[in-house]
Structure 1
């Protein structure tokens, strides 16, 4: 009786189906931002759960809430670009709407403040002309990767250890950053960062390999 009771009390083995949902592709810049930053935490199904026909104003308000309430690493420009993309892909807006075009065009960067003659500018973190620390922050890299510990993806030190004897390590990491990857460190996919400039991808890969 005791054996039978234990067998009945054993927890069921439940296996969830893999998440195969994908964001609707678009040429709007908000799509690339969503792939890079939103897909880190959210399944594409999260968007489908929202009320249909939401306006650009409503989607933009949702993105602002993610930014201010939940600390999503997105800038004010990206809030607008995401709102425009989601309103076109899932809501009531059209890509030709003037408000969508305006929101999808980022504001010009403010001019750099003048420096006194002979003053040396502080070098960007990570070396070279690319500020690696700024890239890590703006692309939410450290939300998934710790420097020494796994979070969602592997820690940077573990990646460097895996590739330390690989002569193609730099090019392999650049390809993974630019195009995304899945299966190398588990089943959780890494989104592509196709919007990064070649020199930014190169600097990020070099930074990881130095850890």
Structure 2
């Protein structure tokens, strides 16, 4: 009889605990801010790496790779990000990022002829034939903008609809939004920084800004 009473008491206590847990507020976890940064370098692949590698992983991923990797090895690593993991980078981006990583984290040097050639892949090529100006959606996809933004809802950064609403009555909207895209920054929409997109041409900036402000 005593055993039955004890079991009943334990069962009631367990039910109270479960009920308390079920009514508790969901646990909120705040992660520490990102502190790892890429090592600077004068090579153009440095800016590309800042813009495109950081959308998928921390700079610590690069710091943890084996030291002394060659140009070919780092280029293959960048290519793996493109081919296997679907990183939004072109073949030319792979070559330039690989050169930056090899000279900054590997066994290569900035002044090496093969590093310089990889960093300027179009220098020895004839000028390309004129092509149609890319549309806004192609620019958004090619520059990994849609990894952090969406048209109608917040992802990492604000929705383009919200950006358009904020600047709807601002006569300087075009200039301000274009500057934010080109130079990056933080504080306008939260603490998470937006990387700069300094490689975009004035036409590309105008195309993107016009598209965003129409949402």
TM-score by length of 2: 0.80
Matched residue, 1:40 = 55
* TM-aligned CA deviation for residue 143 of structure 1: 1.6
Cα gap change, 1:161 to 1:80, in 2 (>3 Å) = same
Q: What SS does the aligned partner of 2:42 have?
A: coil
Following superposition of structure 1 onto structure 2, how do residues 94-109 of structure 1 map, counting pairs within 5 Å?
Answer: 94-107=109-122, 108=125
Query: Which one of 82, 96, 99 corresponds to residue 84 of structure 1?
Result: 99
Unaligned runs of 5+ residues in structure 2 are 1-12
Following superposition of structure 1 onto structure 2, how do residues 15-26 of structure 1 map, counting pairs within 5 Å?
Answer: 15-26=30-41
Kindly provide the CA deviation profile for residues 152-182 of structure 1, in whole angstroms up to 9, marking residues without a partner as x: 2111111111111222211111111011021
Query: Which one of 66, 70, 73 corresponds to residue 88 of structure 2?
Result: 73
Kindly provide the CA deviation profile for residues 41-63 of structure 1, in whole angstroms up to 9, marking residues without a partner as x: 22212211111121111111111
Tell me how far apart the structure 1 counterparts of residues 33 and 147 of structure 2 sit (CA, whole Å). 22
Cα gap change, 1:10 to 1:153, in 2 (>3 Å) = closer
Query: Which one of 126, 130, 147 corresponds to residue 151 of structure 2?
Result: 147
Tell me how far apart the structure 2 counterparts of residues 94 and 65 of structure 1 sit (CA, whole Å). 22
Tell me how far apart the structure 1 counterparts of residues 142 and 73 of structure 2 sit (CA, whole Å). 24
Tell me the C-alpha RMSD between the 2 structures: 2.6
Which structure has greater helix proportion? 2
Larger Rg: 2
In the alignment of these two chains, the number of paired residues is 196
Cα gap change, 1:11 to 1:150, in 2 (>3 Å) = closer
Following superposition of structure 1 onto structure 2, how do residues 44-55 of structure 1 map, counting pairs within 5 Å?
Answer: 44-55=59-70
* TM-aligned CA deviation for residue 12 of structure 1: 8.3
* TM-aligned CA deviation for residue 112 of structure 1: 4.3
Matched residue, 2:76 = 61
Whether the aligned pair in 2 keeps the contact of 1:40 and 1:191 (CA below 8 Å) is: no
TM-score by length of 1: 0.82
In the alignment, does 2:179 pair up with 1:175? yes
Query: Which one of 7, 28, 34 corresponds to residue 43 of structure 2?
Result: 28
Kindly provide the CA deviation profile for residues 99-121 of structure 1, in whole angstroms up to 9, marking residues without a partner as x: 101111124478549xxxxxxx9
* TM-aligned CA deviation for residue 28 of structure 1: 0.8
